[in-house]
Structure 1
Amino acid sequence: MILIGVVHSALGEILIFRRLRAGTIVPLLAPPPLRERHLRILWANWHLCSVLGWALAALLILFAMSPDLPAHALHIRIIAIATFAGAMLVLFATKGRHPGWFGLLVAAGLAWLGQGAP
C-alpha cells in the first residue's frame, strides 16, 4: 500500500497535474468546465487517497509486528474489505483501464492472507 500511494501521487503529478500548474504547488489552471476551486479540491483529494493508503499501510505494519496478531484479525479484515471495495470501485469506474484496481486487489488479498486468523 505504501508503493501504491507513491505511484499514485507521483503519476498523478506527472500525468495530470503538471500541465495544470501556474508556477504554484497547487494546480490553478482548471480546464473547462472545472473552476479553480474544483481543481484545488481534486488535487487535494488525489493526494489524500495516497496519505490514507499510507496510514492503512502503517496500521498493517503495526498489526503484523504485534505479538498477538490474531487479536487484530478484525481490524485487518476491515482494511482488506475496504481495500477490496476500492479495487472494485476503480475497476467498475474505469472499465478496467486504470491499473489501480489490480494494485488494490493485490493489497487487499495480502492483507486478508496476513491476518493471522482462520
Structure 2
Amino acid sequence: MLFAAGCLAILLGITHSILGEVLVFKRLRENSIIPNLTGHKFNLRQIRILWVSWHLVTLFGWALGILLFLLADVNNAPATLITQLKQVIAIAMCGGATLVLLGTKAKHPGWIVLLSIAILVWFT
C-alpha cells in the first residue's frame, strides 16, 4: 500500500506541474521557462513566486512519494533507511532552494532557508 501511495504521489506531482504549465503559466511567459509577463492583477514578482510555489509543491510531493517507496521496502535495514530518508529530504530541499533562487532571481529569501535545511540534513 505504501508503494501504491508513493506512485500516486509521483503521478500527482507530474499532473500538477503539467496542468499548471498548460492552464496557468503558459500565457504568462514569452521566450522563457520562468514566467516573465504580468497578469491583470499581479505584478511580475508575484507571478514569479507563484510559479516557484506551484512547482515547489510538485517537488516536495515527489520527495514524499520517494520516501513512501523507501518505507514500503521491508528489506530496508533501519540504518540504511534513515540514511536514504535524509538524502531524499536534503535533495528535495536543495532542489527547492534552486527553484526559488532562479525563479525569483534571488529576491525571495526562502532559498537561503531551504539550502540551510539541505546542508544541515545532508551533513548530519
- Residue identity matched to 1:24: S
What is the aligned-residue RMSD (CA, Å)?
A: 1.8
Q: 2:34 aligns with which of 13, 16, 26?
A: 26
Once the two structures are aligned, what percentage of the paired residues are identical?
46
Q: Distance in 2 between matches of 1:21 and 1:32?
A: 14
Per-residue CA distance 1:11-56 (angstroms, 9 max, x = gap) = 1101110111111110011212211000000000000000000000
Q: Distance in 1 between matches of 2:17 and 2:76?
A: 34
Decide whether the 8 Å contact of 2:25 with 2:51 is kept in 1: yes
After TM superposition, the score normalised by the length of structure 2 is 0.53
Alignment match, 2:14:
6
User: How many pairs are equivalent?
Assistant: 70
4+ long deviations beyond 2 Å: 66-69
Alignment match, 2:50:
42
Question: Is there any run of 5+ residues in structure 1 with no aligned partner, and where?
Answer: 73-118
